[in-house]
Amino acid sequence: MGDWCRVMPQDWNKYVNHEVRVSAQDKQQYEGWVFTVDPVSASVVLVAFQESGGASVRVVLGHAVREVQVLREADGDTEKKLRSLLTPAGCQVFSD
Amino acid sequence: TIPASSGNKAGSVTLEEEQRVRSELRERFLRTLLAMTSKPVHFSLYEKVQVQAKFGASDIDILNFQVSDLQTPLGVQKEALLRCQDMISFSFQL
């Protein structure tokens, strides 16, 4: 998917909070929940929650992304967990 | 760098919506970089090269990362710039 860098932000947004498998240029595959896709570099931020309570974050650079496959749809709990993981406490949402 | 919207053929409502989504996605990405500051980060580069370093900062276009204590097969580099074009992915723990 050499076109990953050229899609509209709305298309990247469709992957946010979903569990995906990203195939990268080195034939590596990475799985995790999508926290975001950087609209400048098209890099995908994947989060994998660990049993210990921590999380491992992997960023696949946009230029190296070949394919993104959705494994599981977003759910409310994961969405909340993702948001609280990287958004500072006390951060207010002013618009939807 | 990926250019911003090429035009507003579909009207200003669509453009506004695009800008809103773009800013949300970008904010989340910047928060990721912020969370990575001063943490050990593992970089997967081309040709199966793996290096580890402490992340310092990035430029706005995500072209270069400033890192410290870069552990290379030839020794430890106190300060270094990594070109993002050379990376496939990078990871860190939260």
Which CATH number covers residue A21?
A: 2.30.30.100
Q: How many domains does chain B have?
A: 1
- Domain hosting B75: range is 12-91
| A91 domain residue, yes or no | no
State whether residue A93 sits within 8 Å of chain B by CB: no
Q: pLDDT category, A66, cuts 50, 70, 90?
A: very high
Whether residue A92 is contained in a domain is answered as: no
Domain assignment of residue B33, yes or no? yes
Give yes or no for B16 touching A (CB within 8 A). Answer: no
Give the pLDDT confidence of B6-36 residue by residue, as tens digits: 554 556 778 888 999 999 999 999 999 999 9
Burial class (CB in 10 A: 0-12, 13-18, 19+), A32: buried
Does residue B58 fall inside a structural domain?
A: yes
* Residue at B38 is within a domain: yes
A39 with B2: Cβ contact below 8 A: yes
pLDDT of residue A47: 96
Which CATH number characterizes residue B23's domain? Answer: 2.30.30.100
Residue A65 lies in a domain: yes
Q: Which two tokens stand for residue A53?
A: 């309570």
In tens, the pLDDT along B72-84 reads: 888 999 999 999 9
Task: Flag whether B6 is in a domain.
Answer: no
**Is the Cβ of B49 closer than 8 Å to some Cβ of chain A?**
no
| Domain annotation covers residue A15 | yes
Task: Answer yes or no: is B21 within a domain.
Answer: yes
Residues spanned by the domain of A40: 2-73
Query: Domain for residue B1, yes or no?
Result: no
Amino acid letter for position B15 = L
Sheet holding B50-58, edge to edge: A65-72, A19-24, A29-37, A44-49, A55-60, B87-93, B40-45, B50-58, B64-72, B75-83
User: Could you tell me if residue A22 is inside a domain?
Assistant: yes
Is residue B3 one of the residues assigned to a domain? no
Number of domains in chain A: 1
What value of ipTM does the predicted structure carry? Answer: 0.88
Nearest alpha carbon to residue B29 among B53, B5, B61: B61
Closest CB to A30: pick one of B22, B85, B89.
Answer: B89
The residues in A 16-35 lying below 8 A from B, measured between CB atoms, are: 16, 24-26, 28, 30, 35
